[in-house]
Amino acid sequence: MFSNILFSIAKKEFMDNIRNKWVLILSVIFAILTIVFSLFGSIFGTGWQDIQGTVSSMIAIVQIFIPIIAIILGYSAIIGEIERGSMSSLLALPTTRLEVLVGKLFGLGSILAVSILIGFGIAGVIIAVNIPNPDIVGFLIFIGATILLGLVFLSMALFFSTLFKKRSSAIGGAIFLWILFIMIIPMIVQGLLIAEVGIEPLMTGEKVQIPDWYYGAQLVDPGSVYNSLIALTIGSMSTPGNPLQITYPSYYSSGLMTLIFIIWIAIFFVLAYWRFSKKDI
Q: What's 50's DSSP letter?
A: -
Does 166 interact with another protein (rule: CB under 8 A)? Answer: no
List 16, 196, 200, 206, residue binding another protein (CB under 8 A): 16
Q: Determine which residue in the list 43, 46, 92, 133 makes contact with another protein, applying CB under 8 A.
A: 92
- If one asks whether residue 281 binds another protein (CB under 8 A), the answer comes out as yes
* C-beta of residue 187 within 8 angstroms of C-beta of residue 102: no
Establish if 204 lies at the interface with another protein (CB under 8 A): no
| Site membership for another protein, residue 278 (CB under 8 A) | yes
DSSP for 233-248 reads HH----BTTB---PPP
Task: Choose the stretch contacting another protein; rule: CB under 8 A; options: 52-60, 85-93, 162-170, 230-238.
Answer: 85-93
Regarding 110 and contact with another protein (CB under 8 A), the answer is: no
Element (H, E) at 84: helix 79-84
Least distance in angstroms from the C-beta of 7 to another protein: 9
Residue 242: helix, strand or coil by DSSP?
strand
How many CB atoms are located within 10 Å of the residue 176 CB? 12
Q: Which of 95, 236, 242, 258 binds another protein (CB under 8 A)?
A: 95
Minimal distance, residue 168 CB to another protein, in Å: 19
The whole-angstrom separation of Cα 158 and Cα 112 is 14
Angle between helix 222-234 and 136-163 (nearest 10):
170
Q: Measured from the CB of residue 89, what is the shortest distance to another protein in angstroms?
A: 6
46 by DSSP, 3-state: which?
coil
**Torsion angle in degrees (nearest 10) through CA of 68, 142, 57, 73:** -10
CB of 16 to another protein, least distance (A): 5
| C-beta closer to another protein: residue 64 or 93 | 93
Rounded to an integer, what distance in angstroms lies between the CA atom of residue 120 and that of residue 4? 31
For another protein, the binding residue among 3, 25, 64, 96 (CB under 8 A) is 96
Return residues touching another protein (CB under 8 A).
4-5, 8, 12, 15-16, 19-20, 84-86, 88-89, 91-96, 278, 280-281
